Chains A and B, each alone.
Chain A
Amino acid sequence: MNTWFSTFSANAFMPIQGTEIAGKVDGFYAFLLISSLISSIILIGGMTAFIIQYKRKTATDKTAYITHNTMAEFTWSFIPFVIMMVIFYWGKVIFNELRTMPQAGEEIHVVGVQWAWNFKYKNGIKQYTKDGVTKENKIGNVEKQVMVVPYNKPVKLVMTSNDVIHSFYVPGFRNKQDVIPGRYTAFWFKADKLGEFQVFCTEYCGLQHSQMPATIRVVPEAQYAAWLDSNKPSAASNDGGISEVAQKGIELYENKCRSCHSLDGSRVVGPTWKGIYGAKREFESGASVNADDNYLRESILNPAAKIVKGYPAAMPPYAGQLSDEEIEQLIEYMKTVK
């Protein structure tokens, strides 16, 4: 069993504390655990005591005619009220700390896409899942994206999503934040323990909601700086000599097309883009044409016009959602997919 669970320590069953706030949350957790234990002992203990003590002896027992008792009723509504206000305030203090962003600190961009977490660093390093999470990648050995972060330095994640709502959850840091398409949300932490922390997606996002984990690897400061330099993409080489326009096409492919069209010839939902440009396409209607620029542009704007034989008409029209310039970039990129 993975050791990152401390089963019998003070914070029973909570994962290892990765940040200082996690310690505070576990303290709050211990308080809640104990106070609830006491309240249930009072309630359930009282109930069982009354049941045993006042067992029915005969069918017509005389019972006391007590309708109410103001003093008792006042105490057991005021005391819970006070305890709950204490719990509220303690929770508010921790929530405030979790949600106030640090001024200085590393900024990393997180992009949640349907079924993978992608990370982008200031100096251009991109931890992107190239071909997405394939079928047989069980959670045990899935190809996880790794976010390398410095030890004991505040890190701020600016997060968004390109398709549906996901949620970036790090149990070790006791923190999670939904990522919403069309908007940026923020998540911050200061890791004070070296090692790897598991990241889950906790907002239901479809087929492989349970198979888009990631890892946060906390490394010492120096090692982090060295990692940044070694993986920095040099300005010259931009992924195998593809033109600038096609370069932008990759970004669009990652955001909009990756969940239905693959690059390696395998069938996901729609036809693959491998060697698509210029290939002969047969349609449900029986007609056929070579895949040139006009056909590709029409299929993006209004896919229902020509459906390739054997594929479902499941692609939404992108008319009005992609500008002409973006369509140009996509087509240029398609030409490079061999």
Chain B
Amino acid sequence: MAHATQSTTIVTSTEDNYLNHEKGIWSWLSTVDHKRIAVMYLISILTFFLVGGIFALLLRGALFNSGENKFWSYITPEVYNQFMSYHGIIMVFMVIVPGIPAVFGNFLLPVMLGAKDVAFPRLNLASYYIYLLGATIAGSTLFLGKIDTGWTFYTPYSIKTSTSVIMAVLGAFTMGMASILTGLNFIVTTHKLRAPGQTMNKIPLFVWAIYATSIIQILATPVLGITLLLLGAERALGVGIFDPNLGGDPVLFQHFFWFYSHPAVYIMVLPAMGIVSELISTFSRKTIFGYTAIAYSSLAIAAVSFLVWGHHMFVSGQSEFAGIMFSVITMLVGVPTAIKLFNWISTMYKGSVRLDAPMLYAIGFLFLFTIGGLTGVWLAATGMDVHFHDTYFVVAHFHYVMVGGTLMAFTGGIFFWFPKFFGKMTNDTLGRISWVFIFTGFNVTFFPQFILGAMGMPRRYFEYHPAYEPLNQISTVGSWLIGFGFLVALAAIIHGLVAGQKASANPWGSKTLEWQAPSPPPHDNFPITPTVTAGPYEYR
């Protein structure tokens, strides 16, 4: 445990905490307290997640059967393409990329480092409003001209289509800007605001994961910025850089787009790995196995993620030499991921494991991320990817690592840090029930899609070959289970807010620094700034 040598025996629950420090809605909207900004992010991200989830259910409903009598008759191919695009854009740009870093990174990074706030508090608030601005711009396309290019905006279709692509692209650009500013804030906080005595190998693994994510955010998002700007210029002025009739090369657009978007998938999954390291260590009451290995493999993943984007383009007209080059380096990304998985599982060895709701979500992460990771290796092999590219195999793969990985860890994180956020305990049985529904529903939805992919069903298809119908019907039923599971999770959270019993400062007996601050922590996090003398996972 980070022994705080000064006696910080928790003063009886100080009435003054960050929630009731100031009253009134304006005190929330104009706050620069990183904890309040985290709560505001949580609310926005959960709403966008709800909207994205509804689009997902509509999509699955539309794909229930193919042919004349559609399950949702009002969904036409045009409406389906728009739903498919909105599900992608909302989930990627509004929920998963900002998700864990903005909510848990904002709230926990300063507390885990023993700091009073992030390095640039006003910039933190500005990033939240820039994120909201971007979300409203992209969201406004729902009413002004829709968008039907998918979240990848591939040219030349995104140049030719008459839907409002410039609006959506501007929204994505602005949200990218917010993501850069958050990453910048977290890097400087980790470098400059650590508690006295807390060297880089005494910080919790969650901070390492957020640090690696912020590095990717800083180095990858600008290239997405310029790509989207050029796409806007393409549509407005006909600049011709990505437009084949004007001499451009659409494959170059894919290079620029995936130079951001593959590191972006590591922006999505690395924070989730950070959360899982915390959960596994706390709920096995055992020091993490191979701290340095996990910390440095986060950095290794961040570094190698910039070299592998070509595996999205094996069949897109990319040269065979480039395909082979990207394939060999993509295999290297698998090594640090395998290191992490093995380390988490050996943390449980000789531990004392307790399956509360957060731990169940961590176990769910390990189970689903193993399958997701392994199928990723299949797609990295060029010979196999030619058959699987742009089929439902890929859809299943990235849902296993994104929903199975990031969203499982996100929900697990909410249940784990709920006492620290709001000072109340959530109802554990409701949490476990929600896990059961989400876990089974997830497998019922997405495992059949691996088989559909092997059978060759292409992606983004509204009408599919009758041979694919039975598996699609199973998948749609599964999606209702997931929907119900997340509703139960929402019920557990609301129940916690309304009727949760008072939480002590350290309900789970965890050893990292944030559990030494009272929950919910006061405005300046710690009555006295703690001095750290030992590692973050000193369970005996």
Contact = CB atoms under 8 A, between A and B. Distances in A.
Direct contact, A vs B (beta carbon within 8 Å): yes
Interface in B69-110: 77-78, 81
A204 B459 contact: yes
B317 A54 contact: no
Contacts of A240: none
B250 interface: yes
B315 A2 contact: no
Given A88-B381, A95-B383, A180 B245 contact: no
A15 to B, nearest CB: 6
A115 B160 CA distance: 14
Interface in B237-251: 244-245, 249-251
Interface string B366-379: 11001100110110
Nearest to B470: A1
B335 A169 contact: no
A295 to B, nearest CB: 24
A181 B351 contact: no
Nearest to B343: A73
A285 interface: no
A51 to B, nearest CB: 5
Given A76-B338, A95-B320, A208-B77, A165 B382 contact: no
A211 B398 CA distance: 25
A80 B338 contact: yes
Interface residues of B, number: 96
A223 B367 CA distance: 54
B352 interface: yes
A225 interface: no
B74 to A, nearest CB: 16
A236 interface: no
Contact of B386 (A59, A163, A176, A206): A176
Nearest to A200: B458
Interface string B307-346: 0000000111100100110011001101110110111011
Contacts of A174: 386-387
Interface string B130-159: 000000000000000000111010101100
B335 A29 contact: no
Given A73-B339, A314-B162, A47 B366 contact: yes
A129 B339 CA distance: 54
Interface string B187-224: 00000000000000000000000000000000000000
A56 B289 CA distance: 18
Given A56-B354, A174-B386, A180-B317, A165 B463 contact: no
B389 interface: yes
A203 to B, nearest CB: 6
A39 interface: yes
A67 B68 CA distance: 61
A290 to B, nearest CB: 29
B15 to A, nearest CB: 28
| Residue among B150, B346, B355 having the largest count of chain A Cβ atoms under 10 Å | B346
Interface of A: 1-2, 4-5, 12-15, 24-25, 28-29, 32, 36, 39-40, 43-44, 46-47, 50-51, 54-57, 59, 61-69, 72-73, 76-77, 80-81, 84-85, 87-88, 90-96, 98-99, 138-140, 163-165, 167, 169, 171, 174-178, 180-183, 185, 198, 200-211, 314, 321
Interface of B: 66-68, 77-78, 81, 148-150, 152, 154, 156-157, 160-162, 244-245, 249-251, 284-287, 289-293, 314-317, 320, 323-324, 327-328, 331-332, 334-336, 338-339, 341-343, 345-346, 348-355, 363, 366-367, 370-371, 374-375, 377-378, 380-387, 389-391, 451, 454-456, 458-467, 509, 539-540
17 contacts: A32-B377, A32-B381, A63-B350, A63-B540, A67-B290, A67-B291, A76-B342, A77-B335, A80-B334, A88-B381, A92-B327, A94-B382, A95-B327, A180-B316, A198-B456, A201-B458, A207-B77
Given A54-B352, A55-B352, A204-B149, 9 more contacts: A12-B454, A51-B363, A63-B539, A88-B381, A98-B383, A98-B386, A139-B66, A176-B389, A178-B316
